[in-house]
Amino acid sequence: MAVREIKQNIYAVGSIDWDRRLFDELIPLPDGTSYNSYLIKGSEKIALIDAVDPTKRHELMANLEQLNINKIDYVISNHAEQDHSGSIPQILELYPDAKVVTNQKCKGMLMDLLLIPEDKFLTINDRETISLGNKTLEFILAPWVHWPETMFTYLKEDRILFTCDFLGSHLATSDLFVTDEARVYEAAKRYYAEIMMPFRTSIKRHLEVIKGMEVEIAAPSHGPVYQRPEFILSAYREWVSDEVKNEVIVPYISMHGSTEKLVNYFVNALIERKISVKPFNLTRTDIGHLAMALVDAATIVIASPTVLVGPHPLVVYAVYLVNALRPKLRFASVIGSYGWGGRMLEQIKGMTTNLKVEFIEPLIVKGYPREEDFKSLDKLADEILKKHKEVIQQ
Ligand code: FEO
């Protein structure tokens, strides 16, 4: 990525990863990503805010060379995950006088993950500041977005908040700033769903802190920079709120057509009751789409055939993820089929211990569904409608 100027003496010097398609060997990246690193030239000192993924360190180095940066005084590490910290050791080799500035927790993690020696660190506390001469950096500890050591850095004079992963989006784009809010909204919501959703309670606190600050630009370390921070802050406020939408998501698998027959009937029954429904055939689902649907939905209905004695392994995978992401779902149920027996229902319930949901009467049918099974699905749809009316303001 070319060097871009955000404001005078403030540069984006990171890297765009156009081709990356998987993060953490888990998360699909349909639109690639970027590792944003920022250079701030004060009248006396120079700071680099976060670095880049180690696979892209040559691009960061080239950008620093292009700017004729002969010394860096501070390398600010807002987050120890390697896509931002992994090239810090090389930065320290190139700029041996630089100090890594971060909080105590992040320092320990950088020592563990990257074997950076302890004498390379300058440790800061919450709301502490360092001066670059005519510019001041303030550090705001913001644990659990999404690791325990995460923090924000605020450039006071320019009112820029550097948030690392928080508010970010996995989006490779040549736009330095957000130009297409609808596109960024989708990417940022996917990012929130996959990375941030388990930490809703912490995020609420951090949003309150940010509300008390003057932020003209929000600069995350993935995706474009926000010149209108309220756009992404208001989206986050909605996503972390306790409000749920009149939506049901139905992750499902069918092996011989029985469960699919149930799902198709049930989806139509929900549509007839004016309930939004999102079925996900797990043989071809991008888990990012499933995660995004979980941000708002009131209800999940898991649909599976019985394999040996339990749910289909792809259903197990999906339920495990749903449970790990801790969405604000209120209701859950299970539908499915079996040939001769099994413990599918108990096993699925046993995997959802993080979900604060009320279970609604499930429907597990033997073999191919019959007329009375469709009546049971109508009853399930009626019950969901009733429950939604109780908790959702229309
Ligand atoms: Fe972008 Fe948690 O690293």
* pLDDT single digits (tens) 321-373: 999 999 999 999 999 999 998 899 999 999 999 999 999 999 999 999 999 99
- Ligand 1 atom nearest to CA at 82: 3
The number of C-alpha atoms within 13 Å of 263 and in the hemisphere containing its C-beta is: 28
Cβ atoms 364, 345 nearer than 8 A = yes
In which region does residue 82 sit, left (phi positive, over 0), alpha (psi from -120 to 50) or beta (all else)? alpha
| Averaged pLDDT, 40-65 | 98
Q: Is the shortest distance between the CB of 17 and ligand 1 below 6 Å?
A: no
- Read off φ and ψ for residue 108, nearest 5 degrees: -60, -40
Amino acid 318: pLDDT: 98
> pLDDT band at 231, cuts 50/70/90?
very high
Handedness of CA 366, 370, 376, 377 (dihedral sign): positive
Please give the single-letter amino acid code of residue 102.
T
376 alpha carbon to ligand 1 midpoint, in Å? Answer: 45
Across the chain, mean pLDDT equals 97
Q: How much is the average pLDDT of 130-151?
A: 98
83 lines ligand 1 (CB under 6 A): yes
Ligand 1: residue whose CA is nearest its atom 2:
81
Whole-number Å distance, alpha carbon 242 to ligand 1 midpoint, is 25
| Residue 278 φ/ψ, nearest 5 degrees | -130, 95
Of 291, 146, 158, the C-alpha closest to 221 is 146
State mean pLDDT over 108-136: 98
**pLDDT for res 294:** 98
Ligand 1 binding pocket includes 20 (Cβ within 6 Å): no
Tokens standing for 137?
Answer: 């950096």
- For residue range 273-313, list pLDDT tens digits in order: 999 999 999 999 999 999 999 999 999 999 999 999 999 99
Percentage of the chain beyond pLDDT 90 is 97
Residue 1's pLDDT is 73
Whose tokens are 């928080």? That residue is: 166
* Residue 224: pLDDT over 70: yes
Statement: the pTM of the whole predicted model exceeds 0.85: yes
84 Cβ below 6 A of ligand 1: yes
Residue whose token pair is 């920022």: 38
Residue 104 has pLDDT above 70, yes or no: yes
Q: Please say whether the beta carbons of 299 and 249 come within 8 A.
A: yes
The 3-state secondary structure of the chain reads CCCEEEECCEEECCEEECCCCEECCCEECCCCEEECCEEEECCCCEEEECCCCHHHHHHHHHHHHHCCCCCCCEEECCCCCHHHHCCHHHHHHHCCCCEEEECHHHHHHHHHHHCCCHHHEEECCCCCEEECCCCEEEEEECCCCCCCCCEEEEECCCCEEEEECCCCCCCCCCCCECCCHHHHHHHHHHHHHHHHHHHHHHHHHHHHHHHCCCCCEEEECCCCEECCHHHHHHHHHHHHCCCCEEEEEEEECCCCCHHHHHHHHHHHHHHHCCCEEEEEECCCCCHHHHHHHHCCEEEEEEEEEEECCEECHHHHHHHHHHHHHCCCCCEEEEEEEECCCCCHHHHHHHCCCCCCCEECCCEEEECCCCHHHHHHHHHHHHHHHHHHHHHCCC
Q: How far apart are CA 387 and CA 208, in angstroms?
A: 31
| Structure tokens that stand for 381 in this block | 């749809």
Contact present, 59 and 51 (Cβ < 8 Å)? no
Q: Would you state the torsion angle of the CA atoms of residues 127, 114, 2, 9, taken in this order, to the nearest 10 degrees?
A: 30
The per-residue pLDDT for range 250-262, each reduced to its tens digit, is 999 999 999 999 9
Compute CA distances 95 → 15, 71, 80, whole Å.
19, 6, 19
Instruction: Name which residue sits closest to atom 3 of ligand 1, judged by CA.
Output: 81
Does any ligand 1 atom lie closer than 6 A to the CB of residue 53? no
pLDDT at 394: 64
- Split at pLDDT 50, 70, 90, the class of 248 is very high
With a 6 Å cutoff on the Cβ, whether 194 touches ligand 1 is no
Query: Has residue 393 got a pLDDT over 90?
Result: no
Q: How many angstroms is it from 390 CA to the middle of ligand 1? A: 38
